[in-house]
Each structure stands twice: as structure tokens, then as C-alpha cells.
Structure 1
Amino acid sequence: MKYVVILGDGMADYPMPELDNKTPLQYAKKPTIDMLASKGTVGLVRTVPEGIAPGSDAANLSVMGYNPKVYYTGRSPLEAVSMGLELSPTDVALRCNLVHLSEDESEYSDRTMIDYSSDEISTAESKVLIEAVNDALKTETINFHPGISYRHCMVWSNGRTELGCTPPHDISDKKITDYLPKEDSGMLLDLMKKSYEILKDHPVNQARKARGLRTANSIWLWGEGKKPALSSFQEKYHKTGAMISAVDLLKGIGICARLDSIDVEGVTGNIDTNFIGKANAAIKALEDGKDFVYVHVEAPDECGHRHEIQNKVKSIELLDSQIVKPILEGIRKFEYRVLVLPDHPTPLRLRTHTSEPVPFIIYDSTNEIQSPAKSYDEFEAKKSDVFVEDGYRLMDLFINGSL
């Protein structure tokens, strides 16, 4: 038996007037996913436990079968692992976004979060900027490490957690005054303020401005935590596996669970990603002997954060036509199970994550059923009597057929 998880990050949503009062999942043309729903088990799962912020970190840990209340230590250490950074038990890693803040205000704290990704700044440009920040601000205990696009990492030796940091994608178009770090020493805020002076007139940003692009004029620190100690996925479920994702967070979860992290050329974490490449990589991994693959697609989440209504619909349609359909065709020679779901909702009208239960499908090629679900969406799933309260137990249902 082969096992495939296909996760559309943040694709659950609320009805939108622009979509005939349907959700993107209801509105999207997704015949292959709907077919799976008609022949599989459809239900709801609570991926984000009460008391934990609805982030992709905790939610994907749940989907992978790891209880966030036991294993979750913060987002950034998972990304740091993916970047190849060695964290000691006392190191604290923080996500370091390159953001674009408004520029008219005299005080840093009065600025507005215009763009948490600085117009999806290129990796080459951002590397130069992060290196400039590191050259100016590194100390014996603070170091900055370049990542991909706007996503980078700061490591604080012997640092502290519970710093009162806010994800920048949660405050798009909001004044940052009430969302600045709340740690006692003010060190993080001081670093962010100094970064603005370093970056605002940097040659890379001057060139971006000349091209009509938003500048990356500040760092934004958040997602603090220490390296988690996940048990091996193979030890838990007796399956060999691989993770396929464009983003460091999911790669880091996979690496911590001792799954192979498969890089796919042309993946971006957005709607222009290489959907077909991910499908082909999943098929090859299974053909090469892996029992399990986890295919993560970031695009619906990014579209939700940016209030890109049609692009969110399109991202779901592309997931259906260029990932789900090719994978099913490519693994017909095997007996297989497929799990399709989001990790959390990212409602377009809120532009941030929420913690409501999300719809899922489990399809078993050896045990097709006549499902009452007419399609795969939030409202069809709510009609089901299948509800998994503890999200980390969904993997038991998927792998073993029971909770």
C-alpha cells in the first residue's frame, strides 16, 4: 500500500460575495478531488488544538501525526533545520522576514505593514540584504542567516522564548504600533529599528525602487522557538517517506521526522510554482520504494493572505489538475490511499489564519465507497458524521484505518 498526503495550505475559507457566496473550494472546478470525495470518507478535523495559534507549523505537525501540545516549540527552529543550521539546546531561532513598511512616518513604531514579503523579493537580492544586516548587527550571541525570498532566520545563542512576537502576515495594512515585540529588554525591537536604517537606502533597494518594486526596508522578527525533538515517522508508522514542499517550514518538519526532503526545480511557494514537478517527484519517490509522500502546496495560503480571490480559486484548480490528477494516474499500478486537506483556513476576507476544523478526504483504492458527499468543500464535510477532534490522530486513521 502507498500513502499520499496532498495538502493545500490554507485553502479552506468562508463564502465570498465575489464567488456567488461560495467558498473557493465550492467555486473551484476540481473534478478529480470531487471524484475522490464521492468515493471516499469525507469529514472534518481540528488540526489546531485550543490554546495554540493557528499557524502552518502546529497544523502541519498535527496532520503529520505529532501532537502540537507535546512537540510544538515554535516555527523558526523547524525552518532553521531545513536551512541546515545546527541549533544547540539553548539556541533560540526566530523567523526574520524582509518586509516593506510605510516610509512617511518619522517614528518606526508608527509605520504600517505594507507587504510582509517585499513584493516576493528574489533570493539573490535578499541574500545581499541579510548579509548587510548581519555584518552590521551580529554579536557573539546574534547571527542572521539568509534563506529563500523574504524568509530568513536569526539565531540567538542562550536566548529566551515567549517574546511577544507577531507574524507579519497577520497585520497586513495595519499600523505596527501594537504588534511590536514585547520582550523586556527591547533587544528585538532595537534590531528591527536599526535594520531600517541599514536597508532603506541600500543599493539593492534603490535598484528595486527604480524598477517600480517595493523595497525590503526592515527585518521583522517572529516565530521564536527551540529545536523540537520529533520521533521518527518511520518508527511511528512503519513507513518510509518523503516531504515535497517549497517552504523551509515543511522541509524542516520532514527532516525532523526523518523523512527525505525532496527538492523540486521551479517551486516558489506561490501560484507560479511548479505544480507538475511536485506531482512527478511524488510519483518517482513512490516508484523508487517510498511508502509515503507528503505533498505540500503553499499557493492557496499566500493568495488568502493577499486577498487574491481569483488566484486562490485558480490555485485549487491547479492543485486538482496538475497534482492530484497526475499522481492518481501515476500510481495506478499500486494499491494506495490518498488524504486531501488544508492545514487550516486562510479566509480571504480576514487575510490571516483561523483555527476552525478543516475538511478532509481519505480515499482507498482498494475500498471505494458510495459517499454522501457531492463534492469536496467545507459545507459537504460539515454534513458528515466523521469528526476528528484531535488532529494528530488523523494520520492513524489514514495509515491504519482506525483512530
Structure 2
Amino acid sequence: MSSDRFKGLVIILDGLGDRPCPELDGNTPLEFAHTPVLDQLAQSNQCGLMDPLLPGLPVDTHTSVGILFGLPPSVASCLCRGPIEAAGIGLDLHVGDLLLRANLATVEKHGPDFHIKDRRAGRIREHVDSLCRALEDINVGADILASLYPATQHRCVLRLQGSHLSAQISDTDPGGKGIDQRILMSRADNNEDEIARRSAAAVNRFTEISHDILSSHPVNKKRIQGNQLPANGIITRGVGVHQNFNNLLAYLNLKVAVIASESTILGLGNLFGFTTITDPAFTALPDTDLDKKLAFAKTALATHDLVYLHIKATDTTAHDRNPQAKAEVINRFDTALGKMVTGKMTSGKINLEDTILGVCADHSTDSYRGEHNGDPVPVLIHNPLGRKDRVNRFNETDCATGALGRLTAQSFLTSVLDAMGCLSNYKAAEMEYYRLTR
């Protein structure tokens, strides 16, 4: 990239947007948090509200981040989570593999049915690899082998290998937040499709076998002795097959890096050919090392044109219905960002005079219900040569008056790329987006 262009850093605070919380005196976690650095950036740049896909439509992380990573919305909305998770953990993917996103869960068996007591087995973190190793190369009939691989915390990837497998099957994860839900048995979307019926039967057989194996596993026996929930069941969703994707950032010949802890984000980066960077200190929880993440971002900017930094803890705390913890994560992020802007990090200062900085979220997560919702998210773009508006604080309410207005995730990305100087041939970029949607 020519030297007259800016580098770009896009920070994605997962699930940042929220609604007023009684525990926070009627404020959102972002409004309640102490954010002098974000507020200063808001005062000297441009802000707005962003709809990840469509106004009022709740979306998943992989859809909105896919768009922020350069996929056309029509393609991103069809992404399947299983292959993304598999790419995120570095699984060696083969043509014909069937890939499903899975949870280690706590279940009880009542007759032929499994009832879920906790969809995340108490957010299990330790010895997940040992549990998954016990579920490798399981014969589930019809010459199909099933294997489970650890991802992030309770999340795993289930891979089925065999001839003629179909992704046209249903989830076994019933979703929702309630307890004592029954695990759904997978079924073919089209009951006349023999391959789909066989694939669904293989998933169901794995559900049964995995419960038998996990129930007697030493890790779970120890967890029960320590009054912890056992991870004795598997629930699945997001089935799909591996495929290659075209991407606007690749078309623009940008060298892109992704810094994250979440296998979904890393998986998208791997699928698109980005450099993916992670570290054991990066977690999906409030204990994630934000200083180290930002230091890695600064280092990556030296060798990449565009760097994405993803922070999951804002979303995790909202799903846990803990707005106070979400506000505290935002506090910590603002402090860490201040160190990077002022040069108090050990890696030194990021030069905002030659860097376009975008701050956004992938979706809103309601801390009251613990679910994604369709509210727009606050965004800002720092451009040393750009305009500024009259927003004084970075939050859902104030950003609604910003000069960026209400834009889509696709428009947010192109606004960042335009500020970087990457869209000088705008007609070619416009035509490439059209081609990618065909």
C-alpha cells in the first residue's frame, strides 16, 4: 500500500450496545461506565449508530463480523457457524466434512430424553481438551466417524466424516435460557432426503454415545465431588460444510490481521486469509488481558494495513445478565485504550496522526434478557483529516446525534476504508461488491 495512505485499526466490542438497566440507575452499561478516552475521541471526531444488517433485526456475531470483515451482507447472512468454528481452532478441513458448533452441557436423562440443566456446564474452562479426547473417532454407524474438538470454554466443534453427508439437518440445541429443556433430536430438513436422514441419525447417535462416555469420565466425577456441574452432554447447532469466500479486503489487496480470543472471530479470519493472532491471556471473560491485546494491535499495525481487535467480554457479561460487570469491562477497556493513545503501554504509543481508528460493536446484547436484540450500536471513526461533529460522549444516546448518522455495517467498513485512502477507485470497489453478491 502506498505511503500516502493511513493504516486502519477497527476495535469491535462484542455486544456493546444495551438498554437502560435498573441496576445502573436507568443507564446502559456504556452510559454508566467511566469512559474519558472514548468520550474525548467522540468529541474530536465523528460518531453515529450502526445497524449490523437491517434496522431492528437481531443478528449473530458471525453475520455482523463477516460484514465488517468485507463480506457482502447477502453472503454473510448465509454463513454457517460450524465451519467458522472449525477454522477458528485450526482444524484441518477436508471436502465433505460435516461441521457443527457444539456446547458441552449438563444434562439429565429421563427415559429416552435428555433434559438440559445448564447449556454451558457452568461455563466449564478446565480439562475441556481431556473431555474432547474421549470423543474422538466415535463410530456412529453407516461408516461415519464423529470427533469432538475443544474451542472456547464450553464451546466445541463436532466433525462428522464419511461419504455423502448433508448439512440439511436441524439443531439439537433448543436454544433459550431456561433450564430443563429437552435436547432436540436432529432431523432431516427434507424427510425424503436419505443422505440428510442418515446424517441426522449420526448426530443423534453421537448425542447418546457421548453422554454415556462423559458421564463416567474422571473429569466429571471430580467436578461432581467438587460441587461443580458435570459436562456430560453435547448440544449442536450451526451445521455446515467448508467453502471458500471472496472478500472485498482481499480484492483491495490489503494485508489484514485479526486479534481475538474467540474461535468464531479467528475462524472468520482464517477463512478469509487474514493473519490471526491470539494468546492464552486473551479470554472471552472479564479477566482477558486488554493491555496485551492493545499492545499486540499496535505491533500488528507495523506490518499490516488493517488490524481488527475483537473483545468478547462485553457480550459475555451481558449474556450472563450482569450489567455491572459489563460496565466494568468497558471501564477497563477505556483505561487500556488511554494507555495506548498516551504511550503508557510498554509497547509504546499508537500514532493517531497516521491511523484511522474505528470503534464499533457487532450487535447489541440486552443485559436484562441476556439476549441479542435489534437495536443499533454506537460507532465512532477517528480520522486525523476528517470532520468532527458535536457529540460529547460515546454512548447509545449521544451517538444518535452524530454526523455519521445511522449506517449499516457495510457502510461503516467502507467509511473506514475511504478514510484510509483505499477507495480512490470507488467505481471498481462498487462493482466488486456487486460481483461478490452474484
TM-score by length of 1: 0.89
Residues paired across the two proteins, number: 395
1:147-170 per-residue CA deviation (whole Å, 9 max, x = no partner) reads 2332211123443224332767x4
Name the counterpart of 1:358: 377
- Aligned residues of 1:49 and 1:68 also touching (Cα < 8 A): no
Name the counterpart of 1:261: 276
Q: CA deviation at 1:129?
A: 1.3
Question: 1:73 corresponds to which letter in structure 2?
Answer: L
1:163-207 per-residue CA deviation (whole Å, 9 max, x = no partner) reads 332767x42234423865443545234432332222223211011
Does 2:308 correspond to 1:290? no
Name the counterpart of 1:241: 256
- Aligned residues of 2:42 and 2:393 also touching (Cα < 8 A): yes
- Aligned residues of 1:358 and 1:378 also touching (Cα < 8 A): yes
Q: CA deviation at 1:218?
A: 0.5
Question: 1:202 corresponds to which letter in structure 2?
Answer: H
Question: 2:214 corresponds to which letter in structure 1?
Answer: L
Shift of the 88–180 alpha-carbon distance from structure 1 to 2, 3 Å rule, reads same
1:272 alignment partner, one of 287, 292, 301: 287
Name the counterpart of 1:128: 130
The separation in 1 between residues aligned to 2:369 and 2:158, in whole angstroms, is 28
Percent identity reads: 23
Does 2:158 correspond to 1:154? yes
Question: 1:212 corresponds to which letter in structure 2?
Answer: N
1:343-389 per-residue CA deviation (whole Å, 9 max, x = no partner) reads 011111121222332221111133362x2222111122233463455
**Runs of at least 4 residues of structure 1 off by over 6 A?**
50-53
Give the alignment of 1:3-402 within 5 angstroms.
3-49=8-54, 54-71=59-76, 72-101=78-107, 103=108, 106-107=110-111, 109=113, 111-114=115-118, 116-122=119-125, 125-137=127-139, 140-148=143-151, 149-157=153-161, 158-165=164-171, 170-177=175-182, 181-183=186-188, 185=197, 186-187=200-201, 188-232=203-247, 234-287=249-302, 289-322=303-336, 324-329=337-342, 330-332=349-351, 335-367=354-386, 369=388, 371-384=389-402, 386-387=404-405, 389-401=407-419
The separation in 1 between residues aligned to 2:136 and 2:250, in whole angstroms, is 39
Q: Which runs of 5+ in 1 are unaligned?
A: none
- Aligned residues of 2:58 and 2:363 also touching (Cα < 8 A): no
Q: CA deviation at 1:240?
A: 1.5
Larger radius of gyration: 2
The separation in 2 between residues aligned to 1:49 and 1:229, in whole angstroms, is 25
Question: 1:314 corresponds to which letter in structure 2?
Answer: E
Question: 1:6 corresponds to which letter in structure 2?
Answer: I
Shift of the 7–277 alpha-carbon distance from structure 1 to 2, 3 Å rule, reads same
Q: Which runs of 5+ in 2 are unaligned?
A: 1-5, 192-196, 343-348, 427-438
- Aligned residues of 1:65 and 1:393 also touching (Cα < 8 A): no
TM-score by length of 2: 0.82
Question: 2:316 corresponds to which letter in structure 1?
Answer: E
For the residue of structure 1 that corresponds to 2:135, the secondary structure is helix
For the residue of structure 1 that corresponds to 2:235, the secondary structure is strand
The separation in 1 between residues aligned to 2:377 and 2:250, in whole angstroms, is 27
Shift of the 261–356 alpha-carbon distance from structure 1 to 2, 3 Å rule, reads same
The separation in 2 between residues aligned to 1:48 and 1:113, in whole angstroms, is 33
For the residue of structure 1 that corresponds to 2:371, the secondary structure is coil
For the residue of structure 2 that corresponds to 1:3, the secondary structure is strand
Q: After the TM superposition, which of the residue ranges 213-222 and 226-235 deviates more from structure 2?
A: 226-235
For the residue of structure 1 that corresponds to 2:367, the secondary structure is coil
Q: After the TM superposition, which of the residue ranges 234-243 and 295-304 deviates more from structure 2?
A: 234-243
Q: CA deviation at 1:319?
A: 1.6
Name the counterpart of 2:436: none
Q: CA deviation at 1:222?
A: 0.9
